[in-house]
Structure 1
Amino acid sequence: MVTEACQFCKIVDRDDPDVREVYRDENVVAFFPPRPAVLGHVLVVPRRHVRDIWALEPDEASQLSRAVLLLAEGIRDAVRPEGLNVIESNGAAATQTVPHLHVHLVPRWTNDAMGPIWPEETSYSEDLKERTMLDVRSAVQILRASVEPPLAPEDRRKHLDYIQAVVTRQSAASSSAKGWLLPITTATFGFALTQRSWPLAALGMVAVLLFAYLDANYLRSEKQFRRLYNTVARSSRKVPLFTLDPVDADEPLPADGLPLSKWKKTVRSYLPERSIWASWSIAPFYTALLLVGAGVLIVA
C-alpha cells in the first residue's frame, strides 16, 4: 500500500516506471537512486513504510540486514570496489531526506566523488566522552532488561558456577603466592644473615613487596568476581548472560557523578585500593615479613 507522498512506497508498489530495481523479495526492495553518488550505489528499503530505525521491528531489522549482506556481496562482484560504505540516516539532522527508512550501499574507490564522510578532527574532552559512554551503556542496559525474557534458573546456576570457579582460582593463586614467597624469604634472609650481606636482605624485601602487590591484585580480582556473583545471585541488576567481566556488576554512574579521569582509571586498574592492602590476608602476612627483612637488613 502506498503511503501518501512517499516516493519509496511507490517504488515498493511498482508505481514508479523509471526506477532501476536490482532486487526484491517479500521483505525488502533494492534499487538505484536517481542520482547515485557513484556507479553501483544501491538503496535498500523495507517494504513496509517505516519512517526510521526507531520504528523498525526486530524481525524487520533481521530481514533488512540479510538483504544488505546479500546486496553488498553482489555489488562487490559486479563493480569490484576498493571499499564500501553502509549508511543509514535518521532525521533531518542526519541528512535523511525521504521519510522511509533506507540503507545506502555505496561502493568506494580512492578519490571518488563521495569524498570523506567524517570530520577530520573533533575536540571532545575525555570526561565528556566518558560521561556519554556511561550514559549510553546505562540506557542500553535498561532497555535490554525490559525486552529480554527472565533468566532461566538453570542458566543462572551455570553462570554462578562459572563465576565461582574464577573466585576459587583467584583464591588458590593467592595461597600459592604466599606458599612460594615463604621459602624464598627464608633462604634469602637466612643467607643474608650468615653472609652479613645487606644487599641480599634488601633483595628479599623487594621480593616481599613484589609478592604483596601480586597477592593484592589476586584479592582485588577475587572481590570483584564475588561482587559479580552476588549481583547474578540476587538478580539485583541485569547483566549479560554468562559474563565474566566484573565491570558488568558496577552500578551506573549517577546523573550528577563525574567520570574518572584517564589517569585515575589507569591507577585504579593497576593499583589496588587501600582496603585491599589493609585486609587481613595482605597486611599482617606481608608486614611481618617486611619487619623480619628490616631486622635482617639492620643486622647484616
Structure 2
Amino acid sequence: MDCVFCRIRDGQIPSMKIFEDGRTLTIMDINPLNSGHCLVVTKAHAPSLFEAEVEDLQAAIAAAKKVALAIQHVLKPDGLNLLQANGPAAFQSVPHFHIHLIPRWNGDGKGFDWTPTPGNRDQIMKVGERLRGLLK
C-alpha cells in the first residue's frame, strides 16, 4: 500500500510526531494553514470516515481534544478549526482518515469560502425525515 500516512506510521517517511497512543498518532502538517496546524491520524488504514472503525474514531477525537488543549496552552489562539474531509468532492487530499487541528487568530486572513445562505425548508425537512427514518 502506498499511503503517505501509513508510511509515516511505519517510520518510512520522517515526520514531527507530537503525540501517539495505541490507535492514533498526531503529526505537524507540513503544509500548515497557520502555525501549529497538525493532523490526528488513525494508525489503522481507513480511506475515510465511512470505512473507519468506531473505536479508532473515538480514539481520534480523544486525541484531538488532548492536542487541542496543548495548542491552546502553547500558542494561545483565538479559536481552533477541527476539520475532517471524506472523498475528493470534500477536498480530502490523502485517502486515510485524519483530523486537522488548525489554530486560528482574529485577523489571520484565512477563511473558508462558505457563505451561509438559507436553504429550502421543505427540502431540509424531507432529507431530515429520510435520515431520521434510517437512523431509528
Taking structure 2 as the reference length, the TM-score comes to: 0.93
Structure 2's unaligned 5+ residue stretches are none
Indicate the residue corresponding to 1:50 in structure 2. Answer: 46
* Counterparts of 2:115 and 2:62, CA distance in 1: 32
Q: Distance in 2 between matches of 1:118 and 1:84?
A: 17
Please point out which of 63, 74, 77 is paired with 2:59.
Answer: 63
Whether 2:112 is the aligned partner of 1:112: answer no
Cα distance, 1:122 vs structure 2: 2.5
Residues 19-168 of structure 1: matches in 2 within 5 Å?
A: 19-115=15-111, 117=112, 119-141=114-136
- The structure that is helix-richer by fraction is 1
Matched, 1:5 2:2: yes
Whether contact under 8 Å (1:37, 1:113) holds in the other structure is: no
2-side partners of 1:51 and 1:114: how far apart? Answer: 27
SS at match of 2:50: helix
CA RMSD of aligned residues (A): 1.3
Structure 1 residue 48 displacement after superposition: 0.8
Q: Give the Cα separation in 2 of the matches to 1:44 and 1:113.
A: 24
Greater Rg, structure 1 or structure 2?
A: 1
- TM-score (ref. length: structure 1): 0.44
CA drift at 1:107: 0.7
Code of the aligned partner of 2:12: D
- Sequence identity percentage: 30
Q: Which amino acid aligns with 1:133?
A: G
| Residues in 2 aligned to 1:86 and 1:112: alpha-carbon distance in whole angstroms | 16
Q: Which runs of 5+ in 1 are unaligned?
A: 142-300
